[in-house]
Structure 1
Amino acid sequence: MTIRVVVADDQELVRAGFSMILSAQPDMEVVAEAGDGAAAIEAVRRYAPDVVLLDIRMPGVDGIEAARVICAESATKVVMLTTFDQDDYVHDALHAGASGFLLKDVRRADLVHAVRVVVEGDALLAPSVARRLVADYTRRKPAAVGADGPLPDGRDRLAVLTAREHETLVLLGRGLSNGEIAARLVVSEHTVKTHVGNVLSKLGLRDRVQAVICAYETGLIAPGDV
């Protein structure tokens, strides 16, 4: 399967660089480039790509607003790219529906990996971004973390998990991918996907990002473990 990608950034050289890296992959095709959020939205509507890379700061419609529209209108996965490693951008981007958040100084291999990961249905955060996200949510202390409303405080909520699901949540909280979790637990990736799905379902969590937050809020993971 060829992964179709749209690259949106207001700097032409940055767009060209990302496009060149992704186009060089045998399983990827950059179907369009965009210089602002409005153009990115139109490109997604026209080409229905699997993934769109969105810069946060663009003229007119910025990346956050473009992500909201794209995620509301389509099944296209959104990966946010920015030079600004700041809490509010992470918080806003993820709430807009983004599946990934990477800094623009990301290594070539990590950029390619990010695209593949989100296409497979996983959420992806750079380790530094994950730390900031956890700190941000801890500071804000939202009333509701679960998709179905407030969840009880403390580890009692984790009692519904099996021992292996508990281990999976710990590794999710540390930011490991399905492949890394599989290697750590010596099981198949298919088995890991089942465990992850069970963890999210039992705890009423929307995605892996909320699983990271849950692991911290319950004290399962301590600051510095990511």
Structure 2
Amino acid sequence: MTDPIHIIVADDHPLLRGGVVLSLIEHGGFAVVAQAGTADDAVQAVEAHMPDIALLDVSMPGSGLTAAAVISQQFPAVRIVMLTVSEADDDLLAALRAGARGYVLKGVSARELIEVLQGVASGGSYVSPALAARVLAAMQGHGPRDVPEAEALGPREEEILRLVATGRSNKEIARMLDLQEKTIKHYMTNILQKLQVRNRVEAALKARDMGY
């Protein structure tokens, strides 16, 4: 039997937080080891329980972004996922810079949230495709930045990365290239490692700066 994913849920709205916790418990693959309503409480809960994942609200008292930065620095083994109503580009970019592995909008279904959390627990990352595409579009026209050297991508990896940069999901890319979704996930893992980035948005931004 697979061990459950240990998670803390931090949100200052008790009703919403309770709904998320109930969904995770009912699924059976998660152990909610603590709940929190502020950024400080979230950091303390992580320190006390060292969960696999910290699910943080962006706008809770003390700022979920601040909590994410502290957790990422002090407890790098804990994977961070932001759950938020904010579709602001600045919040998304700030979350990624703070070390978040996922950025999920609160309108998602319980099933979608669980799939995202399972993916992040397995080493993946997630940003809503629509948000990722908009951020990439907003970055167009910005001057090139200095980027560290990265291992060269293969032709198929370049092809997949260009599709990622348009905001397409793994499932959509698999359908377009007539490949299995798990094959695309494997390619994405290699791409992230080669580009030395943590998620799809950072990969697409860095690839653009490198001239792909």
Query: SS at 2:95's partner residue?
Result: helix
Q: Does 1:213 align with 2:205?
A: yes
* Structure 1 partner of 2:188: 196
* Structure 2 partner of 1:223: none
Question: What residue identity is the alignment partner of 2:22?
Answer: M
**Segments ≥4 residues shifted beyond 6 Å:** none
Question: What residue identity is the alignment partner of 1:176?
Answer: S
Q: Does 1:107 align with 2:109?
A: yes
Which one of the candidate residues 180, 186, 193 is aligned to 2:179? Answer: 186
Q: Percent identity?
A: 35
Specify every segment of 5 or more residues in structure 2 that has no aligned partner in the other structure, as ranges.
Answer: none
Q: Does 1:57 align with 2:59?
A: yes
Query: In 2, are the aligned partners of 1:37 and 1:62 still within 8 Å (CA)?
Result: yes
Within 5 A, what are the aligned runs for 1:56-205? 56-59=58-61, 61-74=62-75, 75-138=77-140, 140-141=142-143, 143-144=145-146, 146=147, 148=148, 160-173=152-165, 174-177=167-170, 184-186=177-179, 189=182, 192-193=185-186, 195-205=187-197
* Residues 166-202 of structure 1: per-residue CA shift (max 9 Å, x gap): 233234334424x765675535837852x33443454
- Scaled by the length of structure 2, the TM-score of the pair is 0.83
Q: How much is the aligned-residue C-alpha RMSD, in angstroms?
A: 2.8
Give the whole-Å Cα distance in 2 for the aligned partners of 1:47 and 1:106. 27
- Scaled by the length of structure 1, the TM-score of the pair is 0.79
Give the whole-Å Cα distance in 2 for the aligned partners of 1:128 and 1:187. 22
Give the whole-Å Cα distance in 2 for the aligned partners of 1:192 and 1:57. 31
Paired positions, count: 207
Query: In 1, are the aligned partners of 2:129 and 2:169 still within 8 Å (CA)?
Result: no
Deviation at 1:62, TM superposition (A): 0.8
User: Kindly tell me: are residues 98 and 191 of structure 1, through their superposed partners in 2, closer, same or farther at Cα, counting changes over 3 Å?
Assistant: closer
Which of 180-189 and 50-59 deviates more? Answer: 180-189
Query: SS at 1:118's partner residue?
Result: helix
